[in-house]
Each structure stands twice: as C-alpha cells, then as structure tokens.
Chain A
C-alpha cells in the first residue's frame, strides 16, 4: 500500500536553512546539506527546500545547493521559491531536484503550470498554495503570505489541477508557526475535491497533529519544519507512533 509521507521542510536563504514563525522573525537552523543527510537517515520520506533569498546571486547559489543535496541524499526532494519560468525549472531539475514547486508566479501566469506539465510531466510540478481563513472562507495569498487575493483556495486548487499540477502543497497561514495542529478542514475539503495528492503544511506541534491531518484532514503527506529542526519531534518516534495508530507509513 502507498504510505503517507513525512516531509521536513527546509527554508533556504543564501545557502543556509532558516524557518520563519508566521513567515516572519527568521531563525537560523543549520546547514541544509547536514540537515538533509540527517533527515534521510532518520527516515524522512521526502524533503522540501524553499528558497526565500532575494539577491541577484540567488539562482546560482540555489543551483549549487541543489546540486550538493542531490549528490548527498538518496530520497526525493522538491525545490521551490521564486521560480517563475520554464528555464528556471530546467536549471533546478538539471541540478538534481526531483520536483519543483511554484506559487506566486503560477497564480500570476497560470499557463506556466501547463507549460511545465507538458515539458517535464505533471509528476514534477507541485503547486504551493498559501491560504488564510478570513470572512468565512479560505483565500489565496501570494508573495510569501504578504499579498491577499480574492481567489478562494478551493477554487484555485481545482484550477491548478486542471492545468496539470501533479501535487498541491497547502499551507495554512493561520496555523503556520502556531504548533496547534494542521488546518484539517480546508485540507480535507481540497483533498476530496481534487485527484492529486495533497501535502498539508503549517501548524505541526505534536505527533497527534500528524495523525489528525492524515485521518481527519485526508492529507497524503504532512510537512513540517521547526518541530523537526529543533528536535521537538524525532522522525523515527513519529513514524513508530503513526504505525501504532494504524496509519500506513514506511518504517
């Protein structure tokens, strides 16, 4: 049986790992390569790297980091952050990434999703959706959570799948950094309305939260950062717990 996946996320800035709380107040949590090797040894099913740097050297630095990661780990990984063209994607995949995630650029230019799916196949196109609950609904936010749109997350999710997205990385801004659990309601609503896998993100604080997002939220994968980086939850312990809770997991 296909297992649920546990995915540590590493935010990268200028080649270093960082993690923001509610997308702000960035704290340093180590070297990306060291963390990547450590997580793959611990039994992480996949890794996600989000590049949040904004310098002119960004692209070159990122390619180098991606290349070093690819040489050193034997599990799949996704790279995202500021990817806006087919050429950007070529460079990242060519450096050894398995998938790319696109967010703001895909919202502003939805045909990018279609172009990427045609060129590289849907399986390597992850569309990241940052969403926030306000006025009784979940809305899409852009630019790392800074810019609100009038688009509902559930509608955007359906659109991106229609355009060829192979997976959706759904981050609840309300939950992110709170450690109070994932946004199970919107995760479930989207998971049940589209055919592609959903990676839930934002809010992991305890092992029960992971169980809840798989059982109640119907997520296919769960992503977290600080609970792993600061060793509040160890992946082998988490996987053993999930297995005991009858969730299909790779041990």
Chain B
C-alpha cells in the first residue's frame, strides 16, 4: 500500500510518519502532485497557520489536487481545518470539502486549547473500536463548527467538531499520532479503510 503524507510549508509530517512506522507502514512525505495522486491513502497533516498554509497549497497547485482526490484522505488538526469552507485565522478561504466555518475559541477558556479532552457521539468507520469519551490530544486555537458531517464532538466552552467525514474525506482536530494507543487505533482504522 502506498501512503502519502502531504508535505507543506508548516507541519509535523515526520511525527505522523513515525506513528505510521509504529504500525508497520512506511509512508512517503511528499509535495509532488503525481505521488499524491497515485497514493492509496493520503494524510494531510498540519501544525501551523491557515493563511500561509493555504497560500503554499495554491502556489504549489496542491489545492485543486487535494479537492479532486477520490481515495481516502485524512486531514489532521490544521489539515482538517483547511478542508473546511473558511477559517477565521487570517480570514482564509479554505478547500471547502466540509461546509462549516472554522472560528476562534472565545477567551473565556485558555486559548489555545492544549491537552487531553474527550470525544463523543462517535460515528464513522475510522472511529471503529474507539470508545465513547476516549481521551485524545488536542492543540488548537480555532475550531470547526458542528454540521451534518460531524462524526465526533468535543466540548471546550462549546460543542464543536473534533472529527468530520464526507465521502472519502476524513478530518480529525486532535492528533492521533500523539494520542497514545487510542490515537494509533484511529490511524490503523484509516489505513485499513
């Protein structure tokens, strides 16, 4: 199986690659369009800032490539947010797979949210054998609103989408690669979709 991790200007692509290595998958970290198009599974990771990440994707013409993919795609953290319609971070137009907006957390709570929080109302093959109220590791200052595509919710001052799915596109706000054994389970589920 060929698994491609989309490389862009900011990101923790090697953390994701290491997590895949731990489950026996050797992934390719690449921004080459042909490599991405021909992969069986694509992971779109991300740590960084929305507007500069989108600019990079547009400059490399990766934006249209990602939107056109038919094979399973998993956006992680910023990667998931970039798959949404629009982000309040840098007032950025994103890829528009998921129709909700990405908004900044109100500062009634500490922002960014950093640490372990629970996911609930789980519904997707990618969350198979993950228990309700399982802890996942989150690091983010912006959140995706809830919608029909929400497959897991988390509460941080309000309920938001901690995972999304529409057709072949999956997104998780938390970092499965850093969420201990439960996170590893989600990566395994994605790889075996």
Contact = CB atoms under 8 A, between A and B. Distances in A.
A79 to B, nearest CB: 13
B176 to A, nearest CB: 9
Interface stretch (A20-28, A118-126, A206-214): A118-126
Contacts of B178: 74-76, 98
B189 interface: no
Interface of B: 10, 12, 14-15, 18-19, 21-22, 47-49, 52, 78, 107, 109-118, 135, 137-141, 155-156, 175, 177-181, 183-184
A2 B112 contact: no
B9 to A, nearest CB: 9
Contact of A70 (B15, B115, B140, B180): B15
Given A3-B116, A75-B178, A121 B15 contact: no
28 contacts: A2-B109, A3-B115, A3-B117, A4-B115, A5-B115, A5-B116, A40-B180, A45-B116, A46-B115, A74-B19, A74-B22, A93-B47, A96-B12, A98-B15, A98-B47, A118-B49, A118-B52, A121-B47, A122-B112, A123-B141, A124-B139, A166-B112, A167-B114, A195-B111, A196-B110, A196-B111, A221-B115, A250-B135
Given A121-B47, A166-B114, A70 B137 contact: no
Main secondary structure of the interface of B (DSSP, over half): mixed
Contacts of A123: 47, 112, 114, 139-141
Interface residues of A, number: 33
Contact of B137 (A76, A119, A167): A76
A111 interface: no
Given A2-B117, A74-B178, A76-B139, 13 more contacts: A1-B117, A1-B118, A2-B115, A2-B116, A5-B116, A74-B184, A76-B137, A76-B175, A118-B49, A122-B141, A123-B112, A123-B114, A166-B112
B180 A74 contact: yes
Contacts of B175: 76, 98
A5 B135 CA distance: 12
B110 A197 contact: yes
Interface in A32-82: 40, 45-46, 70-71, 74-76
Contact of B49 (A74, A75, A121, A220): A121
